[in-house]
């Protein structure tokens, strides 16, 4: 028996004992008078067994609310990431459309030039400059219309995401109040 107790003490100090083995050690040291060598072990085990750890009141609700806040923050990060990804996709689609249109115009004018054998159509550089400025202004106006539509779409996406955020926050508040009422 003494050998078994010594093995349990060794395992106790290594942190390898379970609650039943620790209970066996406590019972052994409270019932058996020990040698001087075992007095130190007896004192340690009795001291640890007599210590009662109290859990502060409200700790469970604090931990639950903290976990809920972390969950809300994680959902918000995911929604922000999704919003950014959505915007990247829209910009990618718009860039692709512009690229296709540009290639289409290039291909069309390249074929027109090859077929008709166009030559210089302006007599002076000023006329050429005026035509280029007019074309650039037309392009600028049409581009502004396109970006205006994109801004409107972006505003609609932001409004939708705000509504979703509000709904999720209401659900979290309801969940927190349920946790609080259940804990009482």
The pLDDT > 70 percentage for the chain reads 80
Categorize the per-residue pLDDT at 137 as very low, low, confident or very high, splitting at 50, 70 and 90: confident
Q: For residue range 48-102, list pLDDT tens digits in order.
A: 766 666 778 888 899 999 999 999 999 999 999 999 999 999 999 999 999 999 9
Q: Which residue has the higher pLDDT, 178 or 116?
A: 178
- Residue 91's pLDDT is 93
In the predicted structure, residue 182 carries a pLDDT above the cut 60: yes
User: Does the global pTM surpass 0.75?
Assistant: no
Q: Report pLDDT for 180.
A: 65
What pLDDT is attached to residue 29?
77
How does residue 183 score in pLDDT terms, banded at 50, 70 and 90?
low
Residue 153, pLDDT > 50, answer: yes
User: Does residue 136 surpass a pLDDT of 80?
Assistant: yes
Confidence of residue 179 (pLDDT cuts 50, 70, 90): low
Question: For the segment 34-52, what is each residue's pLDDT rounded down to a tens digit?
Answer: 554 567 777 777 777 666 6
Rounded to whole angstroms, what are the CA distances from 39 to 1, 43, 142, 170? 17, 6, 93, 60
Q: What is the reported pLDDT for 116?
A: 47
Rounded-to-integer distance, Cα 43 and Cα 35, Å: 12
37 vs 6: CA distance, rounded Å: 11
Distance from C-alpha of 29 to C-alpha of 45, rounded to nearest angstrom: 8
């Amino acid at each position: 028996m003494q050998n078994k107790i010594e093995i349990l003490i060794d395992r106790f100090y290594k942190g390898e004992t379970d609650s039943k083995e620790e209970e066996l050690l406590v019972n052994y040291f409270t019932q058996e008078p020990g040698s001087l060598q075992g007095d130190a072990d007896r004192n340690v085990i009795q001291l640890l067994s007599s210590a009662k750890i109290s859990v502060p009141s409200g700790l469970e609700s604090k931990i639950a609310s903290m976990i809920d806040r972390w969950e809300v923050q994680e959902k918000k990060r995911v929604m922000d990431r999704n919003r950014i990804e959505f915007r990247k996709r829209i910009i990618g689609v718009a860039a692709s459309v512009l690229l296709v249109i540009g290639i289409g115009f290039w291909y069309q004018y390249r074929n027109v030039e090859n077929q008709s054998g166009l030559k210089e159509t302006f007599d002076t550089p000023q006329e050429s400059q005026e035509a280029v400025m007019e074309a650039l202004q037309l392009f600028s106006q049409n581009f502004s219309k396109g970006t205006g539509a994109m801004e409107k779409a972006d505003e609609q996406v932001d409004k939708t995401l705000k509504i979703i955020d509000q709904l999720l926050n209401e659900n979290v508040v309801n969940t927190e109040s349920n946790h609080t009422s259940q804990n009482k």
